[in-house]
Amino acid sequence: MRRRLSGLGSMAALLALVGLAACAPQGRSPYYGRPAAPLFGGGYAAPQAAPAAKVAVLLPMSGPQAALGPSMLNAATLALFDSGVRGVELVPRDTASSPGGASEAVRAALADGARVVVGPLTGAETASATSQVRSAGVPVLAFTNDVDQGGNGAWVLGITPAQQVRRLLVAAQSAGISRVGLAGPDGPFTRQLTAALRNASREAGLPPPLVVTYPGSASRAQAAGQLASQAGPEGLGLLILGESGSQAREMAAALASAGLAIPPMRIGGHALWAGDATLASEPALAGAWIPGPDPAAHNGFEARYQAAFGERPPRLASTAYDATTAALRSLRGGDPTAPARLPLEEPLQGADGAFRLLPNGQVQRALAVYALSPGAEPQMVDPPVLPGAVGF
């Protein structure tokens, strides 16, 4: 795919976004009321008075993840409109949903003069892309939530296990909970949760957490018994489950039988639980805490996206919006050939609420805490707060 987007990406999007000018929170489009000119490949671009700074947007426009590509490009275009930034051009590149495709896409983008790279989607694609750009000093704002990809010029924009664990731990402290545990099947996700919980507990001055892992094929009843035995008579105030779907329901149901009553113990989950309405049907998970984005920010993003493009965005579209927002902030100097300067450690406002890029390639996010409610959407019980604020 080779299509340039300057200001807006298609005539339909242009007409829709012009109608949003009165309600966009960050200003009007710099090309409001001006005609668009057709581009090679079928896109449209507003007239440019001078050469534009280029932002490469690496997207899966073909391959197994191709269904996500157009929506994420829409979100990036919406971020350009909302920003009001002039003289910046989005240049989409197809990764073909593969590490090799990401490597080729970023190589072509650098040859075309890209100052900053937005994307790609997965951790493997990010690893391949960053190996191409580090020597060029071009930052990568990737969509993945694989924390191992952050650093050395790359930033991880997906909502990470570490961000989620830290938010749950802060909520637990606010509720007077000091003894925390984690249980989950062996694997990369549980390992990331474990490392995050141990680090966050140490930094918060809490006792070391109790961590129990088990094979994915293990009996959840046996795993719950092992957890109860190690927790002892004192029990736990909060137990974070690294499970999903039926395994999460089975594990939660087994805890009470093993001697860990809910309540007083509270269950914590992860962000994927928000999309699974079946979890709240398990009585042991009623009221379970899950971390998630700022509801006001995300609802506003969804409304603007739907008004512009006639459909609800997929969940990952907000990550593309946030990454593009940060990229646009890095190119405000007016010189299209100048290196990008990311707004490190500055609060930024994205589709999922406030976030902050750290020098080490990690990202802080203002996550809220929700409680599962049978037969209803999860209810917010603790508002979003950006790490670094007072008391967080």
- For residue range 302-339, list pLDDT tens digits in order: 999 999 999 999 999 999 999 999 999 999 766 788 89
> Measured at the alpha carbon of residue 133, what is the angle toward residues 132 and 137, in degrees to the nearest 5?
155
For residue range 329-360, what is the model confidence (pLDDT) as tens digits? 999 766 788 899 999 999 999 999 999 999 99
Distance CA(231)–CA(289), nearest Å, equals 20
pTM assigned to the model:
0.85
Give residues with Cβ within 8 angstroms of 262, minimum separation 6: 252, 255, 256, 284
Average of per-residue pLDDT across 216-241: 96
What does the pLDDT average to over 8-32? Answer: 34
Q: Check residue 330 and give left, alpha or beta (phi > 0: left; psi -120 to 50: alpha).
A: alpha
Question: If pLDDT is split at 50, 70 and 90, which confidence band does 389 have?
Answer: low
What residue segments make up the domains of the chain, in order of their start?
11-159+296-361, 161-292+368-385
pLDDT score of 85 more than 50: yes
Question: Nearest Cα to 70, choosing from 126, 117, 3, 136?
Answer: 3
What's the average model confidence in pLDDT over 43-50?
A: 47
29-33, 139-143, 346-350: the lowest-pLDDT one: 29-33
Same-fold call for 11-159+296-361 versus 161-292+368-385: yes
Tell whether domain 161-292+368-385 is in CATH 2.40.170.20: no
Residue keyed to tokens 């093993």: 258
For 93, the 3-state DSSP assignment is strand
Q: Which CATH superfamily is domain 11-159+296-361 in?
A: Response regulator (3.40.50.2300)
